[in-house]
Structure formats: structure tokens, C-alpha cells
Amino acid sequence: MNAREQTAAEQIAAPFSITPVTPVIGAEIGDIDLRETLDDPTYQALRQALVRHKVLFFRDQDITPAQHVALARRFGELEVHPVFPHHPDHPELVLLGGNKDTKGRENIYHSDVSWRAVPSMGSMLRCVECPPMGGDTIWVNMAQAYAGLPDDVKARIEGLEAVHDLMPGFGARMSAEERLVNREKFPPATHPVVRTHPESGEKILYVNEGFVTHLANYGAHIQYRVGADFRLGELDLLQYLYRQATVPEYQVRMKWRPNTIAFWDNRSTQHYAVQDYFPAVRRMMRATIIGERPV
């Protein structure tokens, strides 16, 4: 079944409309009211659409914070982020956005909380206040990124493990005492460079420049001449893998409007929040769904 036939089959089976945004990632979901509790057929169809399209966009969804939490929880247990500020009544909702004096700092390709021993399955983000222009978000299909690698690179990274760390992205937001506490609670996590999606079976390039610091077992897999070759070779390989997220052919870019919701699969995507709107303000709320240990 080709992509067009698969999309047509989805449309017949789903109780909502599905409009792909690009050939490789992203779909607009219509004819659905996310204020209502998802029945089983709708839930299953949305989950299947998420796995296939990697990120789903819902427009004009004026939901309350409580409805946001309930909607996300339909897909699994929710995390409480240790650093970002939370909604006062719903700690599962993080509050994202700078102000007229402080820029946001999410403009780096990353997968949410990959630094956890058990990273997230998905994230559900709602725009509360949008800037007059700018502030788009880019998502990347990292299964496509893996598929596009040359065969010799695929062979080279097979069996490699990457170390993901909270501190590069969030250490500067903490006091010295908070860094000590969070270092103990969230030690660096080691995940495979190539993970397998638990639902689709796709192989995914699971390395991001936001949180990966080094390769845990590079020296055990790669032959090298002298120590300098080992270290520089590891850095060169990581930089090459990081750059795969920047390939436009693997991406979709979405323009926010108030009450737009994006729901993405953190297992198979990375994303980048474009910070081109400062000193205008963009305010968002995000719920993050706990996933499974990558294999």
C-alpha cells in the first residue's frame, strides 16, 4: 500500500478528518472536539495517526487546563517536569514562554526529556498566547532521518549507545543546590543511538544535540590509531548525527494560532522552537506522557 492509499484507508476508518501536511511528517486533524472524552475507537484512531504521521495538529481547541490534562492522560501516565514552572492547579502542565525581557531557549533540536531513564512517549502542547508573527515550531521525522543514512554509517552506529543529560539544557536555570539535588535524582541516562519504535517497529535515530553529551561505548566499537583520533572521531560522528535533524526534507513547520494543539511522538521526532519573535511573547502549556525505556 502506497502513502496515498494508506491515508485514504485512514480516512475511512477514523471518526475525524486527516490531512497530511508533508509527505513524510505531520497531519492536520479536523472534525473533532477535544473537550469531549475520547471514546475507544477515537482514541485508537488518534494513536494510530500519531504513530504514522509523528505529529498531529488540532486547530481551534479552546480547552481548559483540566481538559488538557485529562486529554493527555488518555494516552498514558503524565510526568511532572523537575525544572519548568507548572500550572498552579495542575502540576502535570508546564508553562513555557519567556517575556518581553527574556527570550525562550528551546531553539535547539531535541526530543523532550530524553535525559530520563524512561523518556516520554509524547507531548501535547497548546498555544495560549501567540506573537503577532513568528514563533513557529519545526518537527523532524527521525525514522526518516535514520532511513536516509548511508549504509556504512548505519553499520558504524549499530550497537552504539548515547549518554543523555539534563544539565546541558537545564543546569543554568538551577541554583547550585538545585543542581546537586537534580543530579542525584536524574543521573545521565544511556540509550541506544538507534532505537526501535515499540508500536511501528521503525528504526529511529535517537541522538539529539539538546541533551546528548557523548557516546558511552564508542571506543569498544570503533578502531582508532591514537587517543586523539578516538575523541575527535567520536565528536565528528556525533556532529554528523546531530545534523540529520536539520534536513528540510525530514521536517514540517507549523504556524501557531491561539488554541492550536500539537501532539507529537517523542520517540520518533525531534523539534525546534523558532525564537524569531522577541520581544513579543508566546505562552504555551505542555503535558508530557511517560513512555518506555528505549531499546
Domain of residue 166: give its range.
143-245
Residue 295: inside a domain, yes or no?
no
Do residue 236 and residue 268 come from a single domain?
no
Whole-angstrom distance, CA of residue 119 vs CA of residue 162: 14
- 5 φ, ψ (degrees, to nearest 5): -65, -40
Nearest residue to 72 via CA among 121, 115, 11:
121
Whole-angstrom distance, CA of residue 235 vs CA of residue 125: 33
Residue 251: inside a domain, yes or no?
no
Whole-angstrom distance, CA of residue 77 vs CA of residue 240: 34
User: Catalytic one among 53, 68, 126, 271?
Assistant: 271
pLDDT at 10: 64
Do residue 75 and residue 85 come from a single domain?
yes
Look up 191 and say whether it is catalytic. Answer: no
Report the run of H or E that residue 190 belongs to, with start and end: strand 189-192
Beta bridge partners of 284: 96, 127
Mean model confidence pLDDT for the chain: 93
- 262 φ, ψ (degrees, to nearest 5): -115, 135
Where residue 137 sits, what CATH number does that domain have? 3.60.130.10
Do residue 223 and residue 239 come from a single domain?
yes
pLDDT at 221: 79
pLDDT at 105: 75
Burial of 131 (0-12, 13-18, 19+ CB in 10 A): middle
User: Catalytic one among 90, 126, 195, 286?
Assistant: 286
CA-CA distances (angstroms) from residue 121 to 117, 173, 288? 13, 25, 8
Do residue 134 and residue 153 come from a single domain?
no
Do residue 239 and residue 148 come from a single domain?
yes
pLDDT at 268: 98
Look up 110 and say whether it is catalytic. Answer: yes
Do residue 277 and residue 174 come from a single domain?
no
Whole-angstrom distance, CA of residue 63 vs CA of residue 95: 15
pLDDT at 8: 57
Q: What's the whole-model pTM score? A: 0.93
pLDDT at 275: 92
Nearest residue to 292 via CA among 198, 208, 207:
198
User: Catalytic one among 53, 110, 164, 195?
Assistant: 110
Residue 250: inside a domain, yes or no?
no
Question: Cβ distance 75 to 265 under 8 Å?
Answer: no
Burial of 58 (0-12, 13-18, 19+ CB in 10 A): buried
Reading the chain (295 residues) residue by residue, the pLDDT tens digits are: 555 556 655 665 789 999 999 999 999 999 999 999 999 999 999 999 999 999 999 999 999 999 999 999 999 999 999 999 999 999 999 999 877 777 777 899 999 999 999 999 999 999 999 999 999 999 999 999 999 999 999 999 999 999 999 998 888 888 888 889 989 999 999 999 999 999 999 999 999 999 999 999 998 877 777 777 778 899 999 999 999 999 999 999 999 999 999 999 999 999 999 999 999 999 999 999 999 999 9
Do residue 126 and residue 194 come from a single domain?
no
Do residue 157 and residue 33 come from a single domain?
no
pLDDT at 160: 97
Instruction: Quick: pLDDT tens for 137-146.
Output: 999 999 999 9
User: Catalytic one among 68, 81, 90, 112?
Assistant: 112
